[in-house]
């Protein structure tokens, strides 16, 4: 915060969201909307903004294409909000140029991996109630996470109780692979389904054979019980 205060101290005259402060220095334009009681991302952010601070608000969701028109955007600070949902295309249009994205201290339990894996930005994901699963593991391995905050990505919930409360990195370093667990679960489900279908076919065949056998027996009994036909006199 001190860095932003020192770097951006000159107001600039283009349009600015009513609840925010817009500043500029050496051509780098910033929109500062910290602690403004916002519950969504402002719609009227200037297109040429480079730094966007939306921290310490009450934003609950990042919808698709939320920043698509902000082609110059390099840093976004969304820390200390109430974000629970991030759409898969939330950062579409800014992925290539974004250098820093802070999502720490929110209410994020899970996140579509496609929302983050396309980014080149350094990510801060600490202090969220994460559900440790395959998608989060893939983000951890493939995204550019801020090394200072990785240890604070903690399992709030997990498939096994022993992982709860532990840093995700520590769990993975111990040899746990959430993606293989999911694959095994899928394989078991497929096996159970196939076994169920096979059992149904076997039962059907048995019932069919029994039914035909009973019909054959009834027909035989009927023929035995029928009176013998006598030859007609010539």
Q: Which region among 52-56, 156-160, 184-188 has the lowest average model confidence (pLDDT)?
A: 184-188
Same structural domain for residues 184 and 172? no
Residue 224 is assigned to a structural domain of this protein:
no
Residue 233 is assigned to a structural domain of this protein:
no
Mean pLDDT of the chain: 83
Q: What's the CA gap between 103 and 15, in Å, rounded?
A: 26
pLDDT tens for 102-124 read 999 999 999 998 998 788 899 99
Q: What's the CA gap between 162 and 166, in Å, rounded?
A: 8
DSSP summary character for residue 121: S
We report the CATH number of the domain holding residue 113 as 3.80.10.10
Of 159, 176, 193, the residue that ends a domain is: 176
Same structural domain for residues 140 and 113? yes
With cut-offs at 50, 70 and 90, classify the pLDDT of residue 233. Answer: low
Residue 229 is assigned to a structural domain of this protein:
no
């Amino acid at each position: 915060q001190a860095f932003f205060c020192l770097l951006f101290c000159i107001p600039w005259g283009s349009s600015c969201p009513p609840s925010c402060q817009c500043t500029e220095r050496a051509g780098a334009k910033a929109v500062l909307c910290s602690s403004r009681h916002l519950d969504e991302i402002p719609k009227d952010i200037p297109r040429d903004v480079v730094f966007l601070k939306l921290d310490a608000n009450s934003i609950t969701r990042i919808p698709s294409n939320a920043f698509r028109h902000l082609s110059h955007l390099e840093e976004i600070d969304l820390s200390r909000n109430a974000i629970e949902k991030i759409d898969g295309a939330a950062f579409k249009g800014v992925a290539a140029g974004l250098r820093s994205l802070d999502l720490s201290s929110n209410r994020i339990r899970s996140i579509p991996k496609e929302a983050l894996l396309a980014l080149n930005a350094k990510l801060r994901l600490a202090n969220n109630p994460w559900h440790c699963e395959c998608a989060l593991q893939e983000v951890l391995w493939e995204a550019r996470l801020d090394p200072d905050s990785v240890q604070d990505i903690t399992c709030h919930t997990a498939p096994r109780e022993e992982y709860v409360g532990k840093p995700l990195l520590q769990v993975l370093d111990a040899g746990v692979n959430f993606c293989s667990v999911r694959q095994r679960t899928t394989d078991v489900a497929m096996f159970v389904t196939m076994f169920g279908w096979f059992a149904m076919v076997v039962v059907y065949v048995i019932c069919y054979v029994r039914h035909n056998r009973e019909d054959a027996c009834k027909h035989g009994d009927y023929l035995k019980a029928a009176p013998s036909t006598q030859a007609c006199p010539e």
